[in-house]
Amino acid sequence: MQLVYRKFDLPLRHPFRISRSVVSVQETLVVELSHSGQFGYGEATASTYYGATIANMSAAIEAVRPFLERAVPDDPAAVVAELARHLLPRSSFALAALDAAVHDLWGKLNGKPLYRLWRLAAENLPQSSFTLGIDTPERMVAKLREEPGWPTYKVKLGTAEDLGIVRELRRHAEVPLRVDANCGWTAEKAIRLAPQLRDLGVELIEQPLPADDRTGARRLFEQSPLPIIADESCVGEADIEPCVGLFHGINIKLVKCGGLASARRMIDRARALGLRVMLGCMTESTVGISAMAQLLPLAEYADLDGAALLARDIASGVRIVQGKCVYSTHGGTGVELLGGPLVERA
């Protein structure tokens, strides 16, 4: 396989604020693998919280270049397993980008969408939420009005005015809401707010407490009238069992766990342990969204609006239209870069 990768800056439609940070332009790394005239793509965004930078992802990719240039994509499981042996646990973001590119290329070489090669059905898929970053209540209402018709909205919280924000949004939205505090609450605050949020039509709470607050998580799990979904508390496969008795479900993101191969195993393990599954994303382009969307038939919840938050995308592929997944007719994950293959831009 031939390997090329490139950094892109993804401008957002609005500054995206969560409880710990704000971003207006998202750095991302796109990997391209080619073989026999076909091109496969994967993506990993930079993340301060997880320590993923363009520089260290690039270094990790370079470390496995010799293997990739010898490998052929006829057995993606074997290729990804060898990449994981070299890259985990320190470089899950780089592995996720390479994993998606390998699977996309394999699907394109076989002329079928990835979910079909996995024999998954595309009926009755969970619909995605649309995320409203922290802002004044008035601006959050304005963002909601810019994106009408979604089946649910995810509200980023972690302020002194959280309940007031949800109350104001409820005045303008009839559909269910989800809230995500990104580790920004205490157990006491979460326990106090949960019944009031339920009464305001909130259907779940995502990662309300710091990732290491297991004592608080257990208290909240035992007292909350709403499902609690782990995000930062469930990064990879080893984190699933510790979530039992602390959370009702887990949010799987490709960059956290290291890609599609790991995500499929996490789904199976979560199911066996009675945990619900949400498929999530970072603020990323259609490259990353198209990869994760291949697993939608296996999930209860979806939060795949990353590309919808962008002012300008860099690829075509899977589209999330008012929450509904529209698969590409191309093979693999369906991704095509809007400027053409990276190898042709060198």
CATH of the domain at 123: 3.20.20.120
Parent domain of 48: 2-115+339-343
How far is it, in rounded angstroms, from Cα 54 to Cα 49?
14
Q: Is residue 333 part of a domain?
A: no
- Angstrom distance (rounded) from CA 291 to CA 295: 8
Whether 32 and 181 map to the same domain: the answer is no
Per-residue pLDDT tens for 19-38?
999 999 999 999 999 999 99
For residues 101 and 108, the answer to whether their CB atoms sit within 8 Å is no
Residue 276 lies in a domain: yes
Domain count, the chain: 2
Examine the domain organization and report whether 290 and 196 are in the same domain: yes
Which pLDDT belongs to residue 346? 63
82 part of a folded domain: yes
- Same domain, yes or no: 128 and 77: no
Contact between residue 97 and residue 46 where contact means Cβ atoms under 8 Å apart:
no
pTM across the whole model = 0.97
CB distance 291 to 100 below 8 Å: yes
DSSP code per residue over 308-323: GGBSS-SEES-EEETT
Between CA 41 and CA 64 the distance in angstroms is 16
pLDDT in tens, 244-303: 999 999 999 999 999 999 999 999 999 999 999 999 999 999 999 999 999 999 999 999
DSSP codes of every residue in 144-182: HHHSTT-S-EEEE--STTHHHHHHHHHTT--S-EEEE-T
Q: Give the domain CATH number at 74.
A: 3.30.390.10
Cα 34 to Cα 1: distance, rounded to the nearest angstrom: 5
Tens digit of pLDDT at every position of the chain (346 positions): 999 999 999 999 999 999 999 999 999 999 999 999 999 999 999 999 999 999 999 999 999 999 999 999 999 999 999 999 999 989 999 999 999 999 999 999 999 999 999 999 999 999 999 999 999 999 999 999 999 999 999 999 999 999 999 999 999 999 999 999 999 999 999 999 999 999 999 999 999 999 999 999 999 999 999 999 999 999 999 999 999 999 999 999 999 999 999 999 999 999 999 999 999 999 999 999 999 999 999 999 999 999 999 999 999 999 999 999 999 999 999 999 999 999 988 6
Residues 184 and 101 in one domain: no
The secondary structure of 254-306 as a DSSP string is HHHHTSHHHHHHHHHHHHHTT-EEEE---S--HHHHHHHGGGGGG-SEE---G
